[in-house]
Structure 1
Amino acid sequence: MNNHSPELLAQLLEHLQIEQLDAYLFRGASPKQDWPRVFGGQVLAQAMYAASTTVSEERQVHSLHGYFLRAGKPDIPIIYEVDPIRDGGSFTTRRVVAIQEGKAIFNSSMSFQKPEQGLEHQFDMPDVVGPEGLQSDADYWEEVNKAHPGKFFSRPPLFRAIDFRLIQRRDLFKPEAMAPEQGVWFKTNATMPDDPAAHHVMLSYISDMHFMSTSLMPHTIALPGGKVQGASLDHAMWFHDDFRVDEWMYYHMDSPRSSGGRGINRGSIYTQDGRLVVSTAQEGLIRVRK
């Protein structure tokens, strides 16, 4: 039963569009939730919103590189300091640091460019089933929590502002070893504003969903039980073309290597008609506790 509400998207947008305190100083808040730390995608998105606010509207973000330094506390505001490091003839660069209690929790660099024409090529979109008929995350987790009460943290309500539909789901309690590859369809559950910057910010939020779990696919470790300590370490995005996140998009992910308690993940985000519009990469901590 899909009980999405358009009001959830409005609330999520409100949280991501943070308060401007000064020319290069911003303050963000986290929604009330049961999760013990701030969702990494929220910090990514709020940092991008802060940087975008200091850049001319004609220039759009084309790359983001960030490091998650400390776990964010959801009950404390996050201060975002923007460094206008460069305003060039073709590119604008911003450095953004997210701070809580006087300590950096996230550090990033973003580059903006006025859209222009150039040489084009792309990898084809994988041949996968469409989103129609696939189970949504909201419905899946409702079933899981009813069948196994208390086994998992309650997912933040604002996650339901996005309709996620995995191509294939694993058994959480008895996972089989699988190739380190997965895919998910997604879109917002209501219409977004027409501003391209709003779609970039929202996709930054979405891009951290499901991503790190790709590196766990070859390993038969059950998620309940606390055997895996996981956390995003860094995150990168490259924006290639225009898109709308209120229309179906396909996120294809793979993990070519895990070692040293870390797993590397790569992602390609396509529009439903097969245009590759965003590429992503992330390394995550996947430490196995004994």
Structure 2
Amino acid sequence: MAGIEEILELERLERDMFRGSVHPTVLQRTFGGQVAGQALVSAVRTVDAAFSVHSLHGYFLRPGNPTIPTVFLVDRVRDGRSFVTRRVTGIQDGEAIFTMSASFHADGDEGIEHEDRMPKVPAPAELPDAQADEVLAASELYREWKNWDLRIVPAEETAKVPGLAAQQRVWMRYREQLPDDPILHICTLAYLSDMTLLGAAKVPHPGVVTQTASLDHAMWFLRPFRADGWLLYDQTSPSAGFGRALTQGRMFDADGNMVAAVVQEGLQRIQRDQSRRDIETGNMA
């Protein structure tokens, strides 16, 4: 599988037009995190380095074809003194498959400060690598993500918050050391954020086979971090119904700093043919 630096490498076709690279994949449809990550890279390349991305909001409109490149068109919506806004449309075969708005903020503003406390969980070193699990390692998704170290926190080894419908926690990091470029780590986190999050909605429904795909995705970058360092992805699903599920995630670094927040709605249709496996490609079916 390609490394994250290769996946996020784009070709500039025009001033505000970019083409994503194509890489071998075991998935039938383009992974949603790849589309979002490449879209964010294209937006970043049109913004002055004095501004850092602080949020993105994206919609998965059509399934992506992983065998052909996606072209990203960037609209320079606003260039202000403190904030910059970009709109990005990902296109394949003349049709939009993804649209995203990204907002950038000039560093240096002062304001109030607070953050949630990281849940108490076992350290990553106390948990097995998902690649050591024969069932997980054989699945399409984990083969696709073999460059990532994923360690699921067992439900019995972490304190649950009373009253929440569904909860799941996963330690994650990129296995290889990445360059120090903060933008690379932010775009890598956009890729990572689509991993496992919709699975939180399945926690109260063991054994139920669903057709699963991302519908929309919002993300806020709160504090500096490294994607090649351990990040705890604290996930919940407050509601599911009518074939859709809402999921939320908070990301903490190993020191307990809350570095990002994610909200995602996904398709969760009951799969009538129970012999079929979950379809978790990260994009709309």
If the length of structure 2 is used for normalisation, what is the TM-score?
A: 0.88
Query: Size of the alignment, in residue pairs?
Result: 264
| Alignment map for 1:187-198 (pairs within 5 Å) | 187-198=173-184
Check 1:231–1:154 CA distance in 2 against 1; reply closer, same or farther (3 A cut). closer
Q: Structure 1 residue 115 and structure 2 residue 93: aligned?
A: no
| CA 1:154–1:45: 2 relative to 1, 3 Å | closer
Matches of residues 65-76 of structure 1 in structure 2 within 5 Å? 65-76=57-68
244 and 263 in structure 1: CA distance in 2 versus 1, 3 angstrom threshold: same
Does structure 2 conserve the Cα–Cα contact (< 8 Å) formed by 1:186 and 1:250?
yes
Listed as ranges, the matches of 1:139-178 within 5 Å are 139-140=132-133, 143-144=134-135, 152-153=139-140, 155-157=142-144, 159-168=145-154
Q: Matches of residues 135-284 of structure 1 in structure 2 within 5 Å?
A: 135-140=128-133, 143-144=134-135, 152-153=139-140, 155-157=142-144, 159-168=145-154, 180-222=166-208, 227-284=209-266
Gaps of 5+ in 2: 157-163, 273-285
- Give the letter aligned to residue 144 of structure 1: V
Shift of 1:30: 2.9
Letter matched to residue 147 of structure 2: A
Unmatched 5+ residue regions in structure 1? 1-7, 171-177
Question: Can you list the C-alpha shifts for 1:87-119, whole angstroms capped at 9, x where unaligned?
Answer: 011100000000100000000100001123221
Q: Is 1:64–2:56 an aligned residue pair?
A: yes
Q: Which amino acid aligns with 2:64?
A: G
**Contact 2:86-2:101 at 8 Å conserved across structures:** yes
Please give the per-residue CA displacement for 1:15-58, whole angstroms capped at 9, x wherever unaligned: 21211111100001231122100000000100010000110111
- The alignment's C-alpha RMSD in Å is 1.9
Deviation, 1:133, is 2.7
User: Structure 1 residues 154, 242: CA separation in 2 closer, same or farther (over 3 Å shift)?
Assistant: closer
Q: Is the 8 A contact 1:248 1:271 kept in 2?
A: yes
Aligned-partner residue type, residue 135 of structure 2: V
Contact 1:35-1:155 at 8 Å conserved across structures: no
Mapped to 2, the partners of 1:163 and 1:145 lie a distance apart of 12
Larger displacement relative to structure 2 (26-35 or 100-109): 26-35
Runs of at least 4 residues off by over 4 Å: 154-157
Among 73, 77, 84, the residue aligned to 1:92: 84
How far apart are the structure 1 equivalents of 2:271 and 2:27? 21
Relative to 1, partners in 2 of residues 1:154 and 1:261: Cα closer, same or farther, differing over 3 Å?
closer
Q: Percent identity?
A: 41
Report the Cα offset of residue 139 of structure 1.
Answer: 2.4
| Residues 1:145 and 1:266: Cα distance change in structure 2 (over 3 Å) | closer
Letter in 2 for 1:84: R
Measured against aligned partners, the alpha-carbon deviations of 1:51-78 in whole angstroms (never above 9, x if no partner) come to 0011011111000000001110011110
Alignment CA distance shift 1:46-1:230 (3 Å)? same
CA distance in 2, matches of 1:169, 1:16: 34
Q: Note closer, same or farther for the CA distance 1:154–1:62 as it changes in structure 2 (3 Å cut).
A: closer
